Amino acid sequence: MVFRNLTNPTAHGNCLVMQHKITWCYLCGSPDGTTSDHVPPQNLFPEPRPTNLITVPCCRPCNKKLSNLDEQFRAFIASAVNASERGNGIMRNKVFARSFKRSPALKKQMAKGVLLGTIMTQQGSTMVPLITVDREVFNPFFIRVTKGFLATFYHEINYFGHTFVVSQPSQFSAEHLLFKTATSQLTANERGDGVFRFWHRVEQKDGCAGLWIYQFYDAATFIVRHGTGKASESLFRDSAPEGGGI
Ligand SMILES: [Zn+2]
């Protein structure tokens, strides 16, 4: 993956500058942005939560649709093999102790998605249970997070006409050299220690192209590419729209 001529007018060093707050719903564009939504959801952060979590205006109908998905997503993300201690804590104290008790349906659904995967350890390869989740759940989730960040940090970009592509590289790839090389070319940010990191570049020339890498609990990693016009062509050219990744 090669980045050329990328500019990022709102990034100063490693610090993203929040732009003027939007007033419309960041998901549907309705002028009724009367509720506030955390991106990513605050339920992913153990208490006490960081004070610098990102919120964006959201209309009531959009906000209402989100909470079930958030809980399902948290169960998926916190189950990542190699998750940080923060991630394991969320799995223990929230997903097992609360979500699964409150919603046997969620527990059943998650159990259906368990499959065995192989990981390499110093002692050789070993089989571990991996929880998988439907693309129908995680694709909209990451598109939503990316829209929230665009509304917050790139408020001049009209992302409603953008194409968004989500991919998930192997959850063990964080130590991979390619991962390190790719993220070294991006602006890095984090919220919460060992909870959520993200890297990104946005190019605004001949259209718009953005690339965001999200990592939860130092383990589960996802990539979102988005854009429109000529600028986005080079970002989409290097990889297949589904899967692949870095
Ligand atoms: Zn809305």
**Residue 33 CA neighbour count, 13 Å, CB half:** 18
Distance (angstroms) between ligand 1 centre and the Cα of 34 equals 10
Q: How far apart are the first and last CA of the chain?
A: 7
pLDDT confidence of residue 121: 64
Structural tokens at position 36: 């506030």
Please name every residue paired with 130 in a beta bridge, in sequence order, or none if there are none.
Answer: 115
The pTM is what?
0.81
Distance (angstroms) between ligand 1 centre and the Cα of 233 equals 29
CB distance 213 to 221 below 8 Å: yes
Distance (angstroms) between ligand 1 centre and the Cα of 122 equals 48
pLDDT confidence of residue 12: 42
The series of mean pLDDT values per 10 residues for the chain, 246 residues long, is: 38 54 90 93 93 94 85 82 85 89 83 67 67 75 95 91 85 62 88 93 89 89 89 64 40
CB distance 129 to 206 below 8 Å: no
Distance (angstroms) between ligand 1 centre and the Cα of 58 equals 6
Distance (angstroms) between ligand 1 centre and the Cα of 35 equals 10
Structural tokens at position 181: 């090389």
Longest Cα separation, the chain: 57
Structural tokens at position 177: 């050299």
Other Cβ atoms less than 10 A from the Cβ of 211: the count is: 24
Distance (angstroms) between ligand 1 centre and the Cα of 136 equals 19
CB distance 22 to 151 below 8 Å: yes
pLDDT confidence of residue 144: 95
Contact partners, residue 35, CB within 8 Å, separation at least 6: 57, 58, 59, 60, 63
Contact partners, residue 108, CB within 8 Å, separation at least 6: none
Q: How many helices and strands (H and E) does the chain possess?
A: 8, 11
Distance (angstroms) between ligand 1 centre and the Cα of 33 equals 7
Distance (angstroms) between ligand 1 centre and the Cα of 43 equals 21
Distance (angstroms) between ligand 1 centre and the Cα of 64 equals 10
% helix / strand / coil in the chain, to the nearest 5? 35, 25, 35
pLDDT confidence of residue 69: 80
Contact partners, residue 125, CB within 8 Å, separation at least 6: 118, 119
Distance (angstroms) between ligand 1 centre and the Cα of 68 equals 16
Distance (angstroms) between ligand 1 centre and the Cα of 175 equals 38
| Distance, CA of 23 to chain centre | 23
Distance (angstroms) between ligand 1 centre and the Cα of 28 equals 4
Query: Burial level of 58, CB count in 10 A (0-12/13-18/19+)?
Result: buried
Distance (angstroms) between ligand 1 centre and the Cα of 66 equals 11
CB distance 189 to 149 below 8 Å: no
Please state whether beta strands 220-228 and 208-216 pair in parallel, antiparallel, or not at all (unpaired): antiparallel
